[in-house]
A and B are shown apart, each in its own frame.
Chain A
């Protein structure tokens, strides 16, 4: 007994205790739910068997059921579009802004900081604001588009099945720009000034400098930002809940929202877990690639 107290006070027991507490918590509330999720996705779980510990196993039936849903294809492509378009625009706009604010002018870093306001706000509030900006009859976006002559008529952003997904994507791009910009700014700041100066002396133009210095030196950073972008885009739920709730008729629904709908709206919990298992595996694979690449970066 005395030995245990001494090692906790003064030896490696101290390390093990501190590490163990946090890890135990994460095992109970993160790792175990994942395992439990996989088990549930192989069972029948609904309102009747919710509290039972002895549910019938059905093998891969739930996975078969999700893929045979008529909307499965739509939701799959929506998710791909949602992730792909969000990242392309977040990254290019974020990169453009990072390059712009890298230049030397008064207030540059202060203005850059203001962009982060969009990132710190609860996504549900951001969704509420965009819902009002997108409003069909009185929305300011429609006003701007029609008065600038870009659109002939009002667009019903959130109720037209052809555009609802893009409305959600636009709002998500707005949310993601600050994070991309800040991470890329850090990378840009770490490129030594004299590399550019040397290139300039050699007669390289601004575009040439960007292509042959900035892009290659930012490769690791860009990779990290893209993988984080995939992860964060797949976490996006609040925005969809506030804007369209997946509608109209699943036209803006994505996998992470679909999973939640199964579990909490139609109570087909085992189907919800099956979608959730597939998505979690995907997210973890992306994260593993990202973490491996950044740790590799550090080792040399």
Chain B
């Protein structure tokens, strides 16, 4: 009996917490007159499906494409650079490795909004701002790479040393052992961490806003921000935009939820 009372309280708390999400979907489905009704309605009386119109009129395809491009670039760059580094940090132990790990942990905490000033000036001077999406990829990779290394290292730590040593005894080279033994065994952790940094970069805002000047190269976050403007009242459209943007993120997250949670907690506390 007590268990069911707890379940009901738990459901109620989850519902209260997720109310903003419900409100987003609800507003997206309401008609543009219904959203300004007071008192507000909690179920759409006249459901509107204007997803396609918002997608077209706000040119969302282009924004989402830019976001995807940047997130993909960041993920590829960070996994390429980070996986090997995470592996070495999990295997070798000496003072230098400790210092390197400490430095990486420190770089993980630098806020983008503070780093963007020197990065902007530096990129401007070396002419990188001429290809602004690449500039955002480079800056965002520097932001997520430390997190990727820390989480991936936690995965490599769990792979038994003996498996790699056995391969080396059998005459495999270090490179061979890394690619044929270590990578396949750490595959799940690498995959989940990559998804995590992909999702983070897909929602990146500061660098895109500050380094990209041309509207047609902007990302979905900046597109949403322009849509919101100073005197926005098309909340119907704004929430439709938001719903289109976050639904794929939420779906991916729900599918991988358990793994993301365990990877994340392992990394944050070790």
Contacts and interface: CB of A to CB of B under 8 A. Distances in A.
Do A and B make up one complex? yes
Interface of A: 8-11, 14-15, 17-19, 21-23, 25-26, 29-34, 36-37, 40, 45, 50-51, 53, 97, 100-101, 103-108, 111, 113-118, 120-126, 128-133, 135, 137-138, 140, 143, 147, 174, 177, 182-183, 186, 221, 224, 228, 231, 234-235, 237-238, 241-242, 256-257, 259-260, 263-264, 269, 272-273, 275-276, 279-280, 283-284, 286-288, 291, 294, 298
A133 B107 CA distance: 35
B191 interface: no
B100 to A, nearest CB: 6
B88 A143 contact: no
B23 A276 contact: no
Given A18-B87, A25-B81, A51-B124, A140 B174 contact: no
Contacts of A138: 35-38, 40, 235
Nearest to B261: A182
Given A122-B245, A128-B242, A241-B225, A36 B203 contact: no
B118 A132 contact: no
B63 interface: no
A237 B205 contact: yes
Interface string B237-267: 0110010011001100110011011001100
B82 interface: yes
Contacts of B228: 128, 131, 242
Contacts of B202: 122
A130 B121 CA distance: 33
B142 A29 contact: yes
A298 B27 CA distance: 49
B23 A140 contact: yes
A233 to B, nearest CB: 10
A124 B224 contact: yes
Interface of B: 2-4, 6-7, 9-11, 13-14, 17-18, 20-21, 23-24, 27, 35-40, 81-82, 84-85, 87-89, 91-92, 97, 100, 102-122, 124-125, 138-139, 141-142, 145-146, 149, 173-175, 178, 199, 202-206, 209-210, 221, 224-225, 228, 235, 238-239, 242, 245-246, 249-250, 253-254, 257-258, 260-261, 264-265, 268-270
A37 B114 CA distance: 9
Contacts of A21: 81, 84-85
Given A14-B175, A104-B3, A174-B20, 14 more contacts: A14-B178, A21-B81, A33-B122, A36-B118, A106-B3, A115-B17, A128-B238, A128-B239, A147-B39, A235-B111, A238-B221, A284-B106, A287-B105, A291-B106
A182 B264 contact: yes
B148 to A, nearest CB: 9
B206 A260 contact: yes
Contact of B257 (A34, A116, A123, A235): A116
Given A22-B81, A122-B221, A30 B92 contact: no
A138 B41 CA distance: 11
A116 B263 CA distance: 14
Contacts of B36: 137-138
A287 B111 CA distance: 12
B173 A132 contact: no
A287 B106 contact: yes
A18 B265 contact: no
A132 B120 CA distance: 32
A125 B246 contact: yes
A99 B81 CA distance: 39
Contacts of B2: 105
A80 B4 CA distance: 42
Contact of B115 (A30, A143, A231): A30
B245 A9 contact: no
Contact of A143 (B38, B106, B107, B121): B38
A144 to B, nearest CB: 9
A237 B113 contact: yes
Contact of A25 (B108, B141, B204): B141
Contacts of B268: 183, 224, 228
B245 to A, nearest CB: 6
6 contacts: A36-B118, A120-B260, A123-B203, A128-B228, A133-B20, A237-B111
Contacts of A101: 10
A128 B24 CA distance: 9
A214 B153 CA distance: 30
Contacts of A294: 269-270
Contacts of A288: 106
A129 B21 contact: yes
A30 B102 contact: no
B85 A37 contact: no
A32 B10 CA distance: 48
Which 3 A-B residue pairs are closest in the complex by CB-CB distance?
A122-B203, A18-B84, A22-B85
